[in-house]
Amino acid sequence: MGLFDNMKNKLKIGKKETTVNVAQQGTTVPQQPIQQQPMDSKFIDGVNQRISAVENDVSKINSTLETAKRNITEMAGEINSLKENVKMVVSLYEMVSKKFNPFMDTTPEEIKEITDALREEIRDVESLVKFAVSDLRELYGAPEVEDIISDLEQVEDSNDQ
């Protein structure tokens, strides 16, 4: 039963005559009967059909919306699980690639300390060798190569003048 069915039934009653008592100098004046036109039943049926169609469409949209909400919730759960899986894979990749990545320094601190100490000892040995070579030159009178080069440069400069 549609929205306008009650109205349709009430309007089918037909014409009603009403009289209004107006007190004008003590007399009653009869009014013209008010006639009500019955509403077109086709129009009312058409409106009822449209309302029913809209109600059906709203219920379909509502069920579709509920299904979409459920799907979105499921997808959100799947996306969260994918995020966790990606985090695990990335951390595993970083652990594995640390061993083989030439750009990452993976040397333990103990080895770093040992290599730093060795570098310092090598520097000390280099300075000792330089001093030993200079001492040997002084003892055996071997000229310094740098002195010979500077003497040659001075001779060339005096010749140019």
Strand partners, 27: 24
pLDDT category at 32 given cuts 50, 70, 90 is low
Q: Report the distance separating Cα 83 and Cα 125, nearest Å.
A: 56
pLDDT digits (tens, 9 = 90+) for 81-109: 999 999 988 888 887 776 666 666 666 77
**Burial class of residue 142 in the structure, from the number of CB atoms within 10 Å of its CB (0-12 exposed, 13-18 middle, 19+ buried):** exposed
Site of tokens 């058409």: 46
Averaged pLDDT score across all residues of the chain: 76
pLDDT digits (tens, 9 = 90+) for 65-85: 999 999 999 999 999 999 999
The pLDDT of residue 78 is 94
